[in-house]
Structure 1
């Protein structure tokens, strides 16, 4: 095969061309009239996360939400947590404004983060947070999902789908300015790279200079994501996805004392923007480079091979100085005037290497009246981490009139190297009976190994099952029933050097999906999750943990997406989650609401479009989201954090090539906590954020 590469190619010069076109390009008036913007309503009706095959949502017997890039941008989402703000069952910002990770909870548990179907983050490892502008969409599969994805808790799977090359030329460049001195340049260019149309490329970039809501800390980022797709033949395609990312920021959470926040007396409340660390020392700087290869080959119309591999390497330097609010939660101040807080300093500088692969064969065939889509595969994960860490006490700070610059840092020492690996073999059969009934059956076997320093290697085995059925009952109604399991290796030893058993979860889910027409989807789901082998304190040894804990999570979720006449698009959701501890050695938490998990979640978001002149349109969006109260139980009793309701807005003026957009989140600039804990600290929420963006498309 001979490839003809033009010299020079427009993609390579696209960024320069965008600036030049913005100044010099003119169109004929008649051509402009022909380019009137149609209503843009992007509603996903298919997903790959639930089955690892391209399956319609209406044929998937489990609750799944899909948030497209357009929806995320309209809602003003600036990170992965914020993308989930309007998704049913998801507490998008479980610990408020927290730059350390994208800490969301689903059905009372933490979902596992994947990217393009492969593990993105192992446990709570410090890796750079993903850039949402590089994502095509985000798919959230709710509930246990180990049958397809291996180790994970019972919350579900959060899969990020990267932007990929398109063979039709397109591009955009945007400039943003907003709250906290946010200045951002972003661009996205794609198109064919040769005359034969067999090679396509794409490059996505972001450059941001900004500050955090917390005083004195940066929020800077550089991202470059090149990708290329090569159509080797009509049946074979190879895609490379690259990523380079550099973040310079700090920890946005300051662990404000309960006594000077939610329980503060008049005039004694510490502002949510107050830095209780040090502007010259607090840092969360990360570097990451990754490359992924995605290979597809169709042996025939009924046999298809999918193969994916990704290697990622990240280096992080994390230093955080924070107040000691835990020694005496009721009164953490160390002076008689109630102003000084003792402080500690924690340093963690991990180097992380992660290799992930997933290879599967899809076979379509029929047995009588039954049509089968059988998926058989094997996936592998290898995770290695070395780190330099340190912890010590440092100088106190006046929380109400801080003076910075007086602090000490700990001596660093190497942390025990962590090596984890997991290999899993899975098989799944999607069975279609006529045009009405779809069943999904699957099983998986995993082996997970963990090695920490010189400790004995821990080896765990697990078998996970999944079964579900969904029926087209007519009128767009599709009731379904499903069962799924999860397992999560603990990867550590108890005080007596005995390995912990993996956490295990199971879920029963029943629901109905209603899709009377293409642009409408309503999902009602009821679920019952039980997770066992939860670690609790050993009553006979304070230095030990035992696995007597069990958590139950039962609830109902309603999620709806609908396009009304006259270009009005709306989404709405409501969730009720009764998550509680059913077994524990800590008696006060038994049969009580699970810590940090709200019972009620609700949201509604709508966008109305109006024509403007011959070629333009105006889009107005308004949304509201409610997060219910949370509870925390500690040795000093319980603490309840009030719920909160926030509003978001969108104003956009769009032309065929230009768009001018203003996004506002937390419209009323409400000050809230999400959540506070009986241990003594409060997590602050995000204040009002206003961002204006100008985008040129070509």
Structure 2
């Protein structure tokens, strides 16, 4: 008996030790909530770990009590870590979401169902680093795919109405070089020219079928993105849908007023599960007419994407967007910029906004192609290499016209000028980034070091502009050319044959231009304490302009330093942060001829780049377990070194012009109860040209600044149980204060009135399908936008949508 006592004691101690051990379980999904197979799940600095099964589930057993770091890694997705504490109890972590590509945080988000669907701030594009919004010194808004589905959005302009402080200045014209839409942001105009953090151009409108979300970065952002794709007010980045592990998709059809029909497809599958090769295809075909007497647009869009995980260290991704589009260009009324118009407002103008002053026979084609290739390689536990290549090609071919008030003929007469466009723009961008997350002297550093090469080549073989009759806003027409002494009564039919005959005497341009940008940049987020961090960044940018390739005299180059600095203090970790930033932007300035020509030959004077500097401070919150996200900030942007005429010599130029833009922004995303999501935004902007040699604009609000006050609201509720389970309603509004279409000393002011537009939707959401009705401009408000132009907006429209998921 005594011989067996040690054995019994050993077995009792062993059972006691096993009783003190525990297991952890969980499920890993991607952002589309699709289970991920083969994710490596490890307890860092131990030998314990496992991989997820086909359902995304994992279990790690026999874990001793203590504190651990759980690490999840999967090529094509960002490695994420979370601290856990093991006691004697088993732990269920629920659903853990990993995000694709380079846009993921280092921390794991543990959630059953993502709350606050209208807010998605997990992104690495804004800072080129995996950084949470609450610890980022820059302000940015995101418009998620959930908002777009909730609002039955069929075009990019409607999608951007959800971004705080963004107002459309004019819609896409389709013309060569700059045919995409223009928007006002913090007092400055900007076009959407960034896709997945890389240049992606268009002369038309962006198709929303492939949008995962839209990111609107606020303030000068040249330090990380340069000046080719950003403005002093910020930039717009479109994040596209990406392949995921699994097979599935959806098919959607939307039909509505004014001949709208849109079919959208989304399909994802594995080309080879063994090789971790996945393919996704998004496509759309859209046709739509106008609420006016003429006008249409139609487009076919296809976006293939490919993800290939070679091994646990190396992965490749490919993304493409190809668009074939045709539209009539909107015929804005261009106000006279040098003399007063006869009408000072819309009432005096007598504008019949049902008239388009164009013909469906006169259209523009805007084929666009954007391609991106990405290679991610894990160099070590602390460093990652990211190699990026993007190519863009966008073209314009067809008829472009505009209406301008020369003030010669009287009677609010606008003269039409028309050209046959034949132009294209091509860009190439190559980036190499090294992204690190490491500690130095116990201080955490998150670093990006990158080099960037950008090239843009433009070719223009368009005709000159020919006079093609006059119109009045009320619908009158005549053929009297304002630039000839005789009174003429010629007719100008809006047909291709008649227009071609008028253009036969016009010359054809043969221009080709090119420029290159070589850059190196670095940014570091230093955690000084657990709650206090600093961001510092610097860009060295060399601009090499070849200009018109047939004219070597317009060549020049400039080198610029662009700094960035910010501080963040979190009084409540991961819930409340107080931040401040200094951000820089710049514009390259071409040399100009100076000197009195009567005293001899003029000389070419070079200038420093024009500079914009922003100071901003504010507060960000993430409260109640992500149920309430809010950002409030105040900014002051000063643009200096604009080239103006020297006050002491009319033959000399100096850099003394200044513009100041300051304002307040507030954004709120709330999920107060399950099923209810609310998004609201308000912005106030005060802009003024404070120094200029041009007395026309001195001490006046720049026209590109848009409205002083902008506001947006959208609320969406889906019933969660009972007989109404799956039914939902949504409602919201967009509005702006009055704003200047013209604001010059010699012309006076032409003010576009304030507006508030209401929209509403009802829907039923089931597991496999969704049915929705959307009413835009519910009260049929007549309203206008413009930038030295008058552009009538769409009247009330009803849309019906059916979506099937598989």
Q: How many residues align structurally?
A: 645
Match of 2:572 in 1: 474
Match of 1:618 in 2: 727
Unaligned runs of 5+ in 1: 1-36, 334-340
Residue in structure 2 matching 1:663, options 774, 785, 793: 774
8 Å CA contact 2:390–2:430 kept in 1: the answer is yes
Taking the TM superposition and a 5 Å limit, the aligned residue runs for 1:347-362 are: 347-362=420-435
Shift in CA distance, 140/398, structure 1 to aligned 2, threshold 3 Å = closer
Shift in CA distance, 318/464, structure 1 to aligned 2, threshold 3 Å = farther
Shift in CA distance, 397/474, structure 1 to aligned 2, threshold 3 Å = closer
8 Å CA contact 1:612–1:618 kept in 2: the answer is no
Shift in CA distance, 264/226, structure 1 to aligned 2, threshold 3 Å = closer
1:503 equivalent to 2:584? Answer no
Match of 1:316 in 2: 396
Shift in CA distance, 260/204, structure 1 to aligned 2, threshold 3 Å = farther
Shift in CA distance, 40/588, structure 1 to aligned 2, threshold 3 Å = closer
Residue in structure 2 matching 1:514, options 621, 638, 647: 621
1:409 equivalent to 2:487? Answer no
Residue in structure 2 matching 1:396, options 470, 473, 493: 470
Q: Aligned partners of 2:421 and 2:371: how far apart in 1?
A: 25
Q: Aligned partners of 2:274 and 2:181: how far apart in 1?
A: 42
Partner of 1:71, secondary structure, is helix
Per-residue deviation at 1:85? 1.1
Q: Aligned partners of 1:588 and 1:228: how far apart in 2?
A: 53
1:695 equivalent to 2:803? Answer yes
1:293 equivalent to 2:373? Answer yes
Q: Aligned partners of 1:538 and 1:171: how far apart in 2?
A: 62
Q: Aligned partners of 1:108 and 1:556: how far apart in 2?
A: 12
Match of 1:279 in 2: 360
Shift in CA distance, 192/216, structure 1 to aligned 2, threshold 3 Å = same
Per-residue deviation at 1:493? 5.0
8 Å CA contact 1:431–1:439 kept in 2: the answer is yes
8 Å CA contact 1:254–1:683 kept in 2: the answer is yes
Shift in CA distance, 89/388, structure 1 to aligned 2, threshold 3 Å = same
Taking the TM superposition and a 5 Å limit, the aligned residue runs for 1:426-575 are: 426-453=521-548, 454=551, 455-474=553-572, 476-490=575-589, 493=592, 498=605, 501-516=608-623, 517-534=625-642, 548-575=656-683
1:85 equivalent to 2:85? Answer no
Shift in CA distance, 640/238, structure 1 to aligned 2, threshold 3 Å = same
Shift in CA distance, 667/464, structure 1 to aligned 2, threshold 3 Å = same
Per-residue deviation at 1:264? 5.1
Q: Which moved more, 1:651-660 or 1:640-649?
A: 640-649
8 Å CA contact 1:167–1:197 kept in 2: the answer is no
Per-residue deviation at 1:695? 0.7
Q: Deviations over 1:405-431 (max 9, x none)?
A: 454225341242110111110011111
Match of 1:14 in 2: none
8 Å CA contact 2:172–2:182 kept in 1: the answer is no
Q: Aligned partners of 1:478 and 1:293: how far apart in 2?
A: 36
Shift in CA distance, 240/615, structure 1 to aligned 2, threshold 3 Å = farther
Per-residue deviation at 1:265? 5.4
Larger Rg: 2
Match of 2:19 in 1: none
8 Å CA contact 1:467–1:483 kept in 2: the answer is yes
Shift in CA distance, 412/244, structure 1 to aligned 2, threshold 3 Å = farther
8 Å CA contact 1:493–1:499 kept in 2: the answer is yes
8 Å CA contact 1:261–1:270 kept in 2: the answer is no
Q: Aligned partners of 2:778 and 2:433: how far apart in 1?
A: 46
Partner of 2:781, secondary structure, is coil
1:186 equivalent to 2:264? Answer yes
Q: Aligned partners of 1:182 and 1:494: how far apart in 2?
A: 52
Per-residue deviation at 1:149? 0.6
1:171 equivalent to 2:278? Answer no
1:674 equivalent to 2:794? Answer no
Partner of 1:147, secondary structure, is helix
1:384 equivalent to 2:457? Answer yes
RCO (CA 8 Å, sep 6+): is it higher in 1 or 2?
Answer: 1
Partner of 2:289, secondary structure, is coil
Partner of 1:473, secondary structure, is strand
Per-residue deviation at 1:79? 3.0
Unaligned runs of 5+ in 2: 1-112, 478-492, 595-601
Residue in structure 2 matching 1:114, options 194, 206, 209: 194
Per-residue deviation at 1:594? 2.2
Per-residue deviation at 1:544? 11
Match of 2:306 in 1: 228
Partner of 1:322, secondary structure, is strand
Shift in CA distance, 324/253, structure 1 to aligned 2, threshold 3 Å = closer
Q: Aligned partners of 2:198 and 2:373: how far apart in 1?
A: 11
Per-residue deviation at 1:492? 7.0
Per-residue deviation at 1:690? 2.3
Q: Aligned partners of 2:617 and 2:431: how far apart in 1?
A: 30
Match of 1:15 in 2: none
1:105 equivalent to 2:184? Answer yes
Per-residue deviation at 1:191? 2.5
Shift in CA distance, 87/493, structure 1 to aligned 2, threshold 3 Å = same
8 Å CA contact 1:615–1:655 kept in 2: the answer is no
Match of 1:28 in 2: none
Shift in CA distance, 572/185, structure 1 to aligned 2, threshold 3 Å = same
